[in-house]
Chain A
Amino acid sequence: MAEPRLSQEQRQFRVYEIFVQKDHSSPHVWVGSVDAGSPEDALVLARESFLRREPAVSLWAVEQTAIHRTDYADRDFFAQETDKRYRTLAGYSKANAERWRRYKRALLDLEKDFVRD
């Protein structure tokens, strides 16, 4: 019949990392991976491996070897040591609120003047 039996090195699956988008308001989220040989096969298999109970509008299959990753050991890659509140909501809300309160107090004083008059 056919080709000779494949050697062990030749018999390998490709791994596809799977991302699911549950609705149009949500981003794609990684859910796991499947062993397959092609992206088309991976999508067909992934649908039932990961979406038996969840609704979705989109499915991505990305070959594992295509993913570039940071090294967990390189914690400093993610370090944020100095004060970054200048770029957060928390960095402003208190100070701004203080100022608005001062305006509000001044406004109340003005109203009292009007009433006296």
Chain B
Amino acid sequence: MDRTEERQAEFMAHIERGGKVEASDWMPDEYRTAMIRFMQMHALSELMGALPEKEWVPRAPTLARKLSLMAKVQDEVGHAQLILRVAEDLAAPLGKGREELVGELFTGEAKFHNVFHMPAPTWADAGIIGWLVDGAAVISQAALLGSSYAPYARVLQRVCAEEGFHIQHGESICLALAEGTPAQRQMLQEALERWWEALLLFFGPAETNSASATILLKYRFRTRTNEELRQKFLTKYVPRIQALGLAIPDPALRYDETAGRWIYTPPDWSKLKAIARNQGPLSQYRLGLRRLSYEQGRWVRDALMAPARQAV
């Protein structure tokens, strides 16, 4: 074996023993590239994820909800910042920084999570997102806390801690609507029906032999499969949703005691393909908002960077 192969073998042995990787460690190019891409997608998803709920900030129906939703959306942008910084440190040897990592969102090279391509047409959608979409995200993120890439695992602890408030905030909105007027209850029921498929799609397809999924498990970025996470979500949230008197729009949904798992009508997985091409229901609209503000803000970022240039 030559030196590189030897180092790669040592690296894999280290990973398989549960060892951690830091930014300045030697690592195979494949690991570095895949980890950057994974974190970039997570960060850009947080950034794009701010937009559906942000639509409701100016229309939030009480001063308290206005504040709470602002804080929640602020956290999402904050999470994007935390994760981007970790990605930037790992990408620095490749000459990539903040501008490049964010710019790839607009070229289409970097994707954002499928769930944020969906519409949020009513106030109740803001509640469902805060409760159930963040609920799904917490389950997903918990499986990343054991990630081999230590700087990412560390920053996720902070992210997960803040997500606790998000779910409480979302729950609070949904509880108020569920206990409210008939119109409010109906708004909530309709929002649930609108989001149910998206919540199943959130975790990705059950069996996937995709190259990227294989790498995720090989390098221990993530320690659970898509289906395991989806099952956890159903176990946690189906009883709670039903307790509020809401009807889940899947007549086949039930827990199979023998099999020890939830049986559900499979969502339309083909929708994920359109979303991956940024052709989901609101993909282009939201990308358009972000791209416009990004271009509009370029002169501001140039001014921010100016001292660095002036010093040189």
Chain A residues in contact with chain B, CB under 8 A?
6, 8, 10-15, 32-38, 41, 49, 52, 69, 71-73
Contact = CB atoms under 8 A, between A and B. Distances in A.
B186 interface: no
Contacts of A34: 81, 85
Contact of A37 (B24, B74, B158, B307): B307
5 contacts: A12-B305, A32-B85, A34-B81, A37-B307, A52-B74
A50 B260 CA distance: 42
Given A12-B308, A37-B304, A37-B305, A72 B85 contact: no
Contact of B24 (A32, A41, A69): A69
Nearest to A73: B25
Contacts of B25: 72-73
Nearest to B103: A8
A37 B308 contact: yes
What is the interface of chain B mostly: helix, strand, loop, or mixed?
helix
Interface in B47-102: 71, 74, 78, 81-82, 85, 88-89, 97-99
B22 A35 contact: no
B17 interface: no
A33 B304 contact: no
A10 B309 contact: yes
A35 B22 CA distance: 20
A79 to B, nearest CB: 18
Nearest to A72: B22
A14 B85 contact: no
A32 B83 CA distance: 10
A8 B74 CA distance: 29
A13 B82 contact: no
B26 interface: yes
Contacts of B99: 8, 11
Contacts of A38: 307-308
Contact of B304 (A8, A36, A69): A36
Contact of B305 (A13, A15, A52, A69): A13
